Structure 1
Amino acid sequence: MAGELTSRVAPDEATVNSALGKVTKHLIPFLLLMYVIAFVDRTNLGWAQQEWEANYGISTAAYTFGATLFFVGYAVFEVPSNLIMHKVGARWWMTRIMITWGIVAACFMFVQGPKTFYALRFLLGVAEAGFFPGVMLYLTYWYPAARRAWATGLFYMGLPIANMFGNPLSGSLLELDGVLGMDGIHWMFLVEGALAVVVGIICPWVLVDRPSKASWLTEEEQRDLTQQIELEEAAKQKAKPISWGRALADPRILYFCLIYFCIQASVYGLTFFLPKQVTSMTGTTAGFKASLVTAIPWVVALIGVLIVPKVADRRQNHRLLSGLMLAFSGMGIMGSALFLHQLVPALALLSIAAIGFTCAQPIFWQLPTRYLSGAALAGATGLINAVGNLGGWAAPLLRTWATQSAFGTADSPNEAAGLVVLGMAGVVGVLLVTGLNFFKKSVEEREALSLQSGESLDK
């Protein structure tokens, strides 16, 4: 392929831009919908926590442990799932992922105690494994590096949108309590799981594996976009040819895992407990009104993720901005600990935190994807997401430890301590991002990165 590329005329920028406009129109909305459903299905248990504790004997400790089991199953199967997707294509593999996770998510309506809860949380992680790193890999098939943070940011809109609309949806479904003899939480799990199955069935008719197979692109757009992507892939192969097995042991990849761990600890440490935190501050019960309040930080985060990743692409300062966003995350979460019983300042600080960890993620993913390709990129993104998402396993445990063991008791939890511990994840993340300066790039790698940033399509 490299030999063919050298004999071709360079891709036309206007044609590539035209193709990318169509790619964004055809693929991003559907990928965004998939992410919204995925996030709702993995976090809606926050709305069931109080009823499970009252009626099914699932204590706070049991809830915390069960919530974290998702990430165990997720981590174990991430890398093999991503390698399979790289081999068979996103179209059918994403279909499999969505349908299986939707079925498992709906089965949460049958939870009767801790054991069934634990089993289903683990199975949900297994079913969904590969979805997120699969999308990160999929975007490298369609977007050149100079536009990828922006495209990834559009996909990451799913995080605030899921919390803006997913929380009110869950709150509304809870109010169906008693309809057809079913509890409100049963309706919530059934409907939200069924949504994933329906979207999974539609998936093969929407997703396309590569630009060369997209019927909605002209022949010129297929050719020039494919060539633009292949030029960058060839540059990365020249700079750092590496197998997927070696990528999994690469020190820099392992370092990226630590950074992503800190990001995910911030995300899930807040998400799993925000409904309970808001109901405590407002004195309301879990339902539609409380869900509207929890949506506020995510509305602010949505605005941020529309702006910050595009700025990162324009200025090509992904490392600096990812560190800055992590600082927002850490300071916002820790600052909210000072206003546990004051709704307005607490929500303002949590909104800053939401901007931070929401925007940090699409910018962060540009760091590993800029110098890996092919199976190595598939394996590396799977590993980074797998290890990083263990932050979602650790965060609830750390929060419970801080609130009930280290600085409080089960009868008198210290919620402020829990928030401070979670905020520290953002601070550690900033230090780790700064530490990336100690990794030296080879001459070839610098040339590859220069090629990618120099061919900016935003100009």
Structure 2
Amino acid sequence: MVNEVQKRTIRRVAYRIVPFVMLLYFVAFIDRVNIGFAALTMNKDLGFSSSVYGFGAGIFFWGYFLFEVPSNIILDKVGARLWIARVMITWGLISGAMAFVQGQTSFYVLRFLLGAAEAGFFPGIILYLSYWFPARQRAGITALFMAAAPLSTVLGSPVSAALLELHGLFGLKGWQWLFLLEALPAIVLGFIVLGFMTDRPEQAKWLADDERAWLVEAMNAERAAKAGSASHSVWRGLTDLRVLALSLVYFGTSAGLYTLGVWAPQIIKGFGLSNMAVGSLNAIPPTIAVVAMYLWSRHSDRTNERTWHVVIACLVAAAGLALAGMSTGVASVIAALVLVNVGISAAKPPLWSMPTLFLAGPAAASGIATINSIGNLGGFVGPAMIGWIKDLTGSFEGGLYFVCALLLLSATLTLLLARSIGRHQAAVAH
């Protein structure tokens, strides 16, 4: 009977929460990386060099970094419903304002403000999912949520390319229409969040009484079981060396992810293709990555193994970046980008299942936010270095090898971290 209630509850919670947070992240990710398609015409219109563009695209993550931890702590205090709504409405307004960039300064300022506005969204949802799903199901659920990122590239690439064709309509350029029209869904969804999202299982009137009782009891029992070995204080979440190690692991995967979002359209465009062709080809690698990501995370949940699922995925992504640097044709570069997309996407769900092995409560809020904020600085370093090296050498090759090295470092650190967590758990058990 209990097992039947458990299955029914998890299914109902999953159907209610997961598609909605996927939609939110889908829109968030489009607004975060649509700069990659805007750049196909914007850079020439505004006279941006590769260095200026790479720095401006990446400065988003400094705003993200500075406001991430306080944003997630506020979410834990006031609830996800109010805070996620605030995040979405403000980032939608700023993303739309990108249409009116005039030069370097306004480009840098608005990208920074966009990062500050969006800070707290991703780790906030990761934290939110930990309120609703037991640890055993969390990697699979997290994978479904995170699948929205590659899906946004699959669907967003041809849409963004098509919006560039609106050039001249009502006197606006194509990239201006792209920013304006792709900002609207975030604002609308921000208001929908206020009426749809439920903060905690205790408040879920859409669950039957037995379902709500089981879920509350299960999540309370999980928190109690971690009470002896998990860190709970905000300060411990910020200073735990394992949190810092995971931050550096995530740094490499973020460098890879945003190298794809910011530079992949221009790498493909370099073979002399039209914007529409770039949009179609850029959708192929993340389509394959969505399937691989889900299957890989399900395998991670089924075997209850996280470390090697992160390590192998990072190595696959690193190999893809190295191959992309050597590619001399469209087919080979798309094949290489498939490997990068698959590796980056597959690494993230098992990686995000690791912090809650040793953090709970406020420490989980601050720890997850710390990992995401420091780690996402890779989203600044990767794209900025590629732009700088491209201006220096005239090629994407050196920058791709640089990001490849960061992913190799991520794989190594994951192995070292796993040994540390294992020793800590063994010590607590004795």
Report whether the alignment pairs 1:168 with 2:158.
yes
Distance between the aligned counterparts of 2:335 and 2:379, measured in 1? 23
Which of residues 354, 360, 378 in structure 1 aligns to 2:341?
Answer: 354
Between 180-189 and 137-146, the greater mean CA deviation after superposition = 180-189
Is residue 402–residue 421 contact of structure 1 (8 Å, CA) maintained in 2? Answer: no
Q: Deviations over 1:17-70 (max 9, x none)?
A: 211101111111110011111111011111222433322222221111111110
Which residue does the alignment assign to 1:293? 281
Between 267-276 and 432-441, the greater mean CA deviation after superposition = 432-441
Report whether the alignment pairs 1:30 with 2:53.
no
CA gap of 1:87–1:299, structure 2 versus 1, over 3 A, is same
Distance between the aligned counterparts of 1:189 and 1:105, measured in 2? 6
Which residue does the alignment assign to 2:257? 267
Is residue 230–residue 360 contact of structure 2 (8 Å, CA) maintained in 1? Answer: no
Q: Measure how far apart 1:122 and its partner are.
A: 0.6
Which of residues 310, 320, 324 in structure 2 aligns to 1:336?
Answer: 324
Report whether the alignment pairs 1:392 with 2:379.
yes
Q: Measure how far apart 1:423 and its partner are.
A: 1.4
Is residue 323–residue 433 contact of structure 1 (8 Å, CA) maintained in 2? Answer: yes
Is residue 322–residue 361 contact of structure 1 (8 Å, CA) maintained in 2? Answer: yes
Is residue 144–residue 294 contact of structure 2 (8 Å, CA) maintained in 1? Answer: yes
Is residue 54–residue 388 contact of structure 2 (8 Å, CA) maintained in 1? Answer: no
Which residue does the alignment assign to 2:354? 367
Report whether the alignment pairs 1:153 with 2:143.
yes
CA gap of 1:86–1:17, structure 2 versus 1, over 3 A, is same
Is residue 57–residue 114 contact of structure 1 (8 Å, CA) maintained in 2? Answer: no
TM-score (ref. length: structure 2) = 0.96
CA gap of 1:125–1:328, structure 2 versus 1, over 3 A, is same
Between 207-216 and 291-300, the greater mean CA deviation after superposition = 207-216
Q: Measure how far apart 1:403 and its partner are.
A: 3.2
CA gap of 1:12–1:378, structure 2 versus 1, over 3 A, is same
Distance between the aligned counterparts of 1:139 and 1:326, measured in 2? 24
Which residue does the alignment assign to 1:452? none
Is residue 334–residue 424 contact of structure 1 (8 Å, CA) maintained in 2? Answer: no
Is residue 334–residue 423 contact of structure 1 (8 Å, CA) maintained in 2? Answer: yes
- Residue 399 of structure 2 aligns to which amino acid in structure 1? G
- Residue 370 of structure 1 aligns to which amino acid in structure 2? L
Distance between the aligned counterparts of 2:376 and 2:132, measured in 1? 25
Distance between the aligned counterparts of 1:296 and 1:23, measured in 2? 31
TM-score (ref. length: structure 1) = 0.90
Q: Which runs of 5+ in 1 are unaligned?
A: 1-10, 448-459
Is residue 371–residue 445 contact of structure 1 (8 Å, CA) maintained in 2? Answer: no
Which residue does the alignment assign to 1:324? 312
Q: How does 1:39-438 map to 2 (within 5 A)?
A: 39-281=29-271, 283-286=272-275, 288-339=276-327, 341-405=328-392, 408=393, 413-438=394-419
Distance between the aligned counterparts of 2:291 and 2:93, measured in 1? 33
Distance between the aligned counterparts of 1:190 and 1:444, measured in 2? 55
Q: Measure how far apart 1:290 and its partner are.
A: 1.5
Q: Measure how far apart 1:445 and its partner are.
A: 5.1
Distance between the aligned counterparts of 1:311 and 1:114, measured in 2? 46
Between 436-445 and 268-277, the greater mean CA deviation after superposition = 436-445
CA gap of 1:334–1:113, structure 2 versus 1, over 3 A, is same
Is residue 46–residue 103 contact of structure 2 (8 Å, CA) maintained in 1? Answer: yes
Displaced runs of 4+ in structure 1, greater than 4 A? Answer: 443-447
Is residue 46–residue 273 contact of structure 1 (8 Å, CA) maintained in 2? Answer: yes
- Residue 360 of structure 2 aligns to which amino acid in structure 1? S
Which residue does the alignment assign to 1:3? none
Is residue 64–residue 115 contact of structure 2 (8 Å, CA) maintained in 1? Answer: yes
Is residue 142–residue 211 contact of structure 1 (8 Å, CA) maintained in 2? Answer: yes
Is residue 30–residue 206 contact of structure 1 (8 Å, CA) maintained in 2? Answer: no
**Secondary structure at 1:238 match in 2:** coil
Q: Measure how far apart 1:270 and its partner are.
A: 2.2
Is residue 143–residue 297 contact of structure 2 (8 Å, CA) maintained in 1? Answer: yes
Report whether the alignment pairs 1:441 with 2:424.
yes
Report whether the alignment pairs 1:12 with 2:2.
yes
- Residue 320 of structure 1 aligns to which amino acid in structure 2? W
Q: Which runs of 5+ in 2 are unaligned?
A: none
Q: Deviations over 1:336-360 (max 9, x none)?
A: 2221x31112211210111110010
Is residue 5–residue 214 contact of structure 2 (8 Å, CA) maintained in 1? Answer: yes
Q: Measure how far apart 1:134 and its partner are.
A: 0.2
**Secondary structure at 2:270 match in 1:** helix
**Secondary structure at 2:184 match in 1:** helix
Q: Deviations over 1:408-435 (max 9, x none)?
A: 2xxxx12222221111222111111111
- Residue 379 of structure 2 aligns to which amino acid in structure 1? G
Distance between the aligned counterparts of 1:239 and 1:135, measured in 2? 24
Is residue 50–residue 390 contact of structure 2 (8 Å, CA) maintained in 1? Answer: no
Distance between the aligned counterparts of 1:58 and 1:404, measured in 2? 11
